């Protein structure tokens, strides 16, 4: 089937192919100033767009540009602040406006083009942005892949290499489970909420230090507030316990990174941290023009120091092999026309099975989309609505969130207006949350709000 032929995705974006684009790569480690240089060019331009991996980052750029006196629009899955005539945009990468022409575009964390779930959004931005200059910021591992793709698109490639602005020192031995060694500016990194709160309790029990916490399920605004408390000299919060959520999106004044462990649960089993994850997290120690310009890094246990040393010693990591793709609505509509009796889950299965791919591309993992598609299968929806719903941020394994998705899908099917208040899915606690179970409920309610805003 021709519409499952994904070998030349550059042809999906004819507007971008009409332009002679200059792709400018800014590559280097964390704390090297690569994104700063690209954003400076964005601010100098007459029209431009920033595309980042997190709502938090889009907000930061939106506020920075507006504060500098230039109007800027904001476009994320959950929020739209758009004014007519405004020529600057700050977006999450999935929301990048591909039908508008810009002088300058900045795409942050370009190495995520190889992510098995979200890589398609970076591929779409690289291939589809209609900008004379497209600045890509990230790791050097992406250089060969971008060069191969640009040979196909006819775009020129310019590469700027950056070195770390501050020194990063690997400590001679591990932390040795001695909490008396905790110092202001330290950040302990672990990978479960349970461990995060256990470590916070332990640290606060052995001394006069107060601990801020940051992890992925916290709302972005709460993460930013915790970062502000940790960074402030006068807040009384001296130490941070965090997950790999600190790897991007937050400016943190960290003196020392301490890895509590060097593996992480991926939803199915424990997997060693990737080289990229280790480097990105360790690189958060030592921030330019702060009281901690020299950064330190170690592990909780001496046995893990070998893994840390080996990872940070790698100067030429393996290049990314391929970029992610995701079926477009037009492709799914054509597919459905050929298989009119097939369910949407079945269409996704068949698309995976029949897709033809070039070696520089892979089809992103569609398991989450298929779970959502199966969940809403019995609801009467158009194919376009199903396509939108399966792309929404929904964890089908979470009973509260999946029940919310069903309620929202039924409202879309019937055409009835549904407010959050009427849905009775979200409520404000009358007293502070004090248990892990109640905190998990609160996090789920925030995700319901995000899902509602995304679909509205």
Looking at the predicted structure, is the pLDDT value of residue 100 above 80? Answer: yes
Q: What is the pLDDT of residues 261-297, one digit of tens each?
A: 999 987 778 899 999 999 999 999 998 888 888 999 9
Is the pLDDT at 1 greater than 80, yes or no? no
| DSSP character at residue 240 | E
Q: What is the pLDDT of residue 78?
A: 87
Predicted confidence (pLDDT) at residue 148 exceeds the cutoff of 60: yes
How much helix, strand and coil, in percent to the nearest 5, is found in the chain? Answer: 45, 20, 40
Q: What is 294-308 written as a DSSP string? A: SEEEEESSGGGHHHH
Does residue 394 carry a pLDDT above 60? Answer: yes
Q: Return the pLDDT at 295.
A: 94
Whether 177 shows a pLDDT value over 90: the answer reads no
Mean pLDDT of all residues belonging to the chain: 92
Q: What is the mean pLDDT of residues 400-425?
A: 90
DSSP 200-232: HHHHHHHSS-EEEEE-TTS-HHHHHHHHHHHH-
pLDDT at 2: 65
Cβ partners under 8 Å of residue 192, min gap 6? 243, 265
Q: In the prediction, which pLDDT does 142 show?
A: 97
The CA-based dihedral angle spanning residues 282, 288, 294, 298, taken in that order and rounded to the nearest 10 degrees: -10
Global pTM reads 0.92
Query: Could you read off the pLDDT of 317-364 as tens digits, one per residue?
Result: 899 999 999 999 999 998 899 888 999 999 999 989 988 898 899 999
């Amino acid at each position: 089937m021709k519409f499952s032929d994904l070998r030349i995705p550059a042809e999906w974006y004819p507007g971008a192919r009409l332009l002679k684009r200059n792709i400018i790569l800014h590559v280097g480690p964390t704390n090297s100033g690569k994104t700063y240089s690209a954003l400076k060019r964005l601010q100098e331009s007459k029209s431009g767009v920033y595309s980042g991996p997190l709502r938090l980052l889009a907000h930061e750029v939106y506020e920075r540009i507006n504060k500098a006196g230039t109007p800027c629009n904001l476009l994320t899955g959950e929020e739209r602040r758009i004014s007519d005539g405004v020529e600057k945009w700050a977006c999450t990468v999935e929301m990048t406006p591909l039908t508008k022409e810009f002088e300058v575009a900045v795409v942050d964390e370009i190495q995520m083009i190889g992510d098995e779930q979200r890589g398609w959004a970076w591929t779409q931005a690289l291939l589809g942005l209609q900008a004379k200059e497209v600045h890509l910021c990230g790791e050097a591992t992406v250089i060969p892949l971008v060069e191969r793709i640009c040979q196909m698109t006819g775009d020129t490639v310019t590469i700027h290499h950056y070195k770390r602005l501050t020194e990063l020192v690997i400590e001679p031995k591990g932390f040795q489970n001695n909490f008396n060694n905790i110092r202001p500016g330290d950040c302990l990194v672990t990978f479960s909420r349970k461990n995060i709160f256990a470590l916070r309790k332990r640290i606060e029990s052995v001394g006069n230090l107060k601990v801020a916490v940051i992890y992925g399920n916290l709302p972005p605004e709460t993460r930013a507030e915790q970062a502000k408390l940790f960074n402030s000299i006068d807040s009384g919060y001296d130490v941070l316990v965090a997950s790999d959520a600190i790897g991007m999106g937050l400016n943190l004044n960290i003196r020392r990174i301490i890895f509590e462990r060097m593996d992480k649960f991926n939803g199915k089993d424990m997997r060693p941290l990737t080289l990229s994850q280790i480097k990105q997290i360790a690189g958060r120690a030592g921030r330019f023009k702060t009281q901690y310009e020299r950064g330190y890094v170690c592990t909780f246990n001496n046995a893990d120091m070998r893994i840390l040393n080996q990872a940070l010693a790698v100067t030429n990591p393996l290049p990314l092999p391929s970029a992610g793709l995701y079926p477009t609505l037009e492709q799914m509509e054509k597919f459905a026309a050929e298989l009119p009796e097939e369910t949407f889950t079945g269409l996704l299965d068949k698309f995976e099975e029949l897709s033809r791919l070039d070696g520089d591309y892979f089809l992103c993992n569609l398991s989450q989309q298929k779970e959502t598609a199966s969940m809403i299968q019995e609801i009467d929806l158009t194919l376009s609505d199903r396509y939108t719903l399966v792309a929404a941020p929904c964890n089908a394994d979470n009973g509260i969130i999946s029940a919310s998705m069903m309620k929202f899908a039924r409202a879309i099917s019937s055409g009835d207006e549904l407010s959050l208040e009427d849905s009775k899915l979200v409520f404000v606690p009358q007293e502070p949350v004090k248990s892990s179970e109640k905190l998990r409920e609160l996090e789920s309610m925030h995700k319901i709000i995000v899902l509602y805003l995304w679909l509205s």
